């Protein structure tokens, strides 16, 4: 090869390098952007904080942050960005670490003195009422918590299940329109109790379960919408205070508008309650949004119980007309030693 040909070849190689460089720059920029977003969310999770919008909204889908972190790592490899490769591996490892279910678990001491099945369902402004009626007739739970049960929904449930022949002669309710109404239906006798104060109805009661008093509290705090994070934190904080001051057997069930990746929800667990779905082996099964669950979603509908309960089965039921899946938990109440 003569000198002229060699110079031409070198110039072409240099030009080719210049043509490739913009692609690598873009890949590096995209990787950095993805890693930054995921790192902020995971950093708040590690700091036991829900941060500010959009962090609380993204925390609800924390397990799925593996996807953008993985894409970012692919971009870092394409860009041959060594720092980015290390960053990507660390981000992926941290997200995977926090996917591990949160909270204490353990089988309670003492014999089982009662078994009961608890169902919670958000019927989205009453739209899922008819489907819920079908599910209740099929599953025959002992206690039913219904959120966003407006006047018509409440009336339908009362007419269908109330009275001595309806199967659920006892109820506690906060009547309201839109998302404000909520109902607790029970086969067991109920005594009135003050519910936790909230923007939407959260009734409370005390059930006589085979001679054992069990405190019931429906949960439906405000969702973490932009501009409403204060109300969301405040109402979850009231549920935490309720859990911390509960004396004896307790069930808190409903649409918490929060997952185990939200600090405000973890603080409720830290107050002494256990997540029934986790006890039953379903800690990450999504309940919302129903349209994409169970492939993609978040478990924001929960049945939380005091340590004298165990759970043997959790089922997520499709309820037409609503954006939530219902959660049905089989519980055993134990006589603690």
How do residues 10-40 score in pLDDT, each as one tens digit? 444 444 444 457 889 999 999 999 999 999 9
**Residues 264, 297 within the same domain:** yes
Question: Alpha-carbon distance 49 to 64, whole Å?
Answer: 19
Q: In which residue are the tokens 């919670």 written? A: 120
CA atoms within 13 A on the CB side of 161: 28
Question: Alpha-carbon distance 97 to 101, whole Å?
Answer: 10
**Residues 80, 121 within the same domain:** no
- Which segment of 60-74, 97-111, 255-269, 319-333 scores lowest on mean pLDDT? 97-111
Q: Is residue 36 part of a domain?
A: yes
Q: Is residue 284 part of a domain?
A: yes
What is residue 104's predicted lDDT score, i.e. its pLDDT? 75
Digit-coded pLDDT (tens) for 283-317: 999 999 999 998 999 999 999 999 999 999 999 99
Question: Alpha-carbon distance 146 to 219, whole Å?
Answer: 10
Question: Alpha-carbon distance 181 to 146, whole Å?
Answer: 9
Number of domains forming the structure of the chain: 2
Q: Kindly tell me if the per-residue pLDDT of 137 is higher than 50.
A: yes
**Residues 82, 126 within the same domain:** no
- Model confidence at 6, in pLDDT bands (50, 70, 90)? very low
Closest CA to 325 of 295, 282, 296, 289: 289
Task: Examine the fold and report which residue of 98, 125, 158 is the final residue of a domain before the chain moves on.
Answer: 98
Q: Is residue 107 part of a domain?
A: no
Question: Alpha-carbon distance 5 to 269, whole Å?
Answer: 74
Q: If you average pLDDT over residues 115-134, what whole number do you get?
A: 98
Q: If you average pLDDT over residues 115-129, what whole number do you get?
A: 98
**Residues 200, 237 within the same domain:** yes
Structure tokens at 38: 């995921």
Question: Alpha-carbon distance 142 to 130, whole Å?
Answer: 19
- Close Cβ partners of 55 (under 8 Å, ≥ 6 residues apart): 40, 41, 44
| Domain at 170, CATH number | 3.60.10.10
Query: Can you list the pairs that 197-202 forms with residues at least 24 positions away whose Cβ atoms lie under 8 Å?
Result: 197/238, 198/222, 198/235, 198/238, 199/231, 199/235, 200/147, 200/148, 200/176, 201/173, 201/174, 201/175, 201/176, 202/174, 202/254
What's the length of the chain? 337
Q: Which helix (H) or strand (E) holds 216?
A: strand 212-219
**Residues 20, 85 within the same domain:** yes
Q: Kindly tell me if the per-residue pLDDT of 9 is higher than 80.
A: no
Q: Structural domain of residue 65, as residue ranges? A: 3-98
**Residues 233, 289 within the same domain:** yes
Q: Kindly tell me if the per-residue pLDDT of 5 is higher than 60.
A: no
Digit-coded pLDDT (tens) for 147-187: 999 999 999 999 999 987 899 999 999 999 999 999 999 99
Task: Examine the fold and report which residue of 98, 132, 154 is the final residue of a domain before the chain moves on.
Answer: 98
What is residue 337's predicted lDDT score, i.e. its pLDDT? 65
Q: If you average pLDDT over residues 53-79, what whole number do you get?
A: 97
**Residues 35, 179 within the same domain:** no
Digit-coded pLDDT (tens) for 181-225: 999 999 999 999 999 999 999 999 999 999 999 999 999 999 999
Question: Alpha-carbon distance 70 to 61, whole Å?
Answer: 15
**Residues 281, 159 within the same domain:** yes
Task: Examine the fold and report which residue of 65, 98, 131 is the final residue of a domain before the chain moves on.
Answer: 98
- Close Cβ partners of 58 (under 8 Å, ≥ 6 residues apart): 37, 41, 65
Closest CA to 192 of 182, 207, 202, 180: 207
């Amino acid at each position: 090869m003569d000198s002229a040909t060699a110079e031409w070849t070198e110039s072409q190689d240099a030009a080719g390098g210049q043509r490739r460089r913009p692609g690598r720059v873009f890949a590096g920029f995209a990787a950095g952007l993805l890693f930054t977003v995921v790192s902020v969310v995971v950093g708040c999770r590690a700091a036991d904080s829900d941060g500010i919008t959009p962090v609380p909204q993204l925390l609800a889908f924390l397990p799925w942050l593996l996807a953008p972190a993985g894409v970012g790592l692919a971009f870092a490899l394409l860009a041959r960005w060594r720092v980015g490769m290390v960053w990507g591996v660390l981000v992926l490892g941290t997200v995977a670490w926090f996917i591990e279910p949160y909270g204490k678990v353990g089988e309670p001491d003492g014999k089982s003195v009662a078994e009961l099945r608890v169902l919670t369902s958000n019927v989205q402004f009453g739209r899922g009422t008819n489907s819920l009626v079908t599910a209740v007739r099929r599953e025959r739970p002992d206690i039913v918590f219904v959120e966003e049960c407006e006047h018509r929904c409440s009336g339908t449930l009362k007419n269908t299940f109330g009275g001595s022949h309806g199967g659920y002669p006892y109820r506690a309710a906060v009547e309201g329109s839109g998302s404000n109404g909520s109902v607790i239906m029970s086969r067991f006798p109920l005594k009135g109790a003050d519910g936790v104060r909230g923007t939407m109805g959260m009734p409370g009661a005390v059930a006589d379960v085979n001679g054992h008093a069990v405190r019931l509290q429906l949960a439906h705090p405000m969702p973490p919408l932009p501009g409403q994070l204060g109300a969301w934190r405040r109402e979850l904080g009231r549920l935490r205070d309720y859990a911390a001051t509960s004396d004896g057997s307790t069930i808190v069930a409903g649409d918490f508008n929060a997952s185990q990746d939200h600090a405000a929800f973890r603080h409720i667990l830290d107050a002494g309650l256990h997540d029934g779905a986790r006890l039953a082996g379903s800690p990450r099964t999504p309940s919302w949004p129903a349209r994409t669950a169970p492939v993609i979603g978040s478990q924001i509908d929960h049945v939380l119980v005091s340590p004298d309960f165990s759970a043997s089965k959790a089922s997520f039921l499709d309820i037409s007309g609503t954006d939530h899946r219902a959660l049905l938990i089989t519980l055993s109440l134990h006589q603690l030693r």
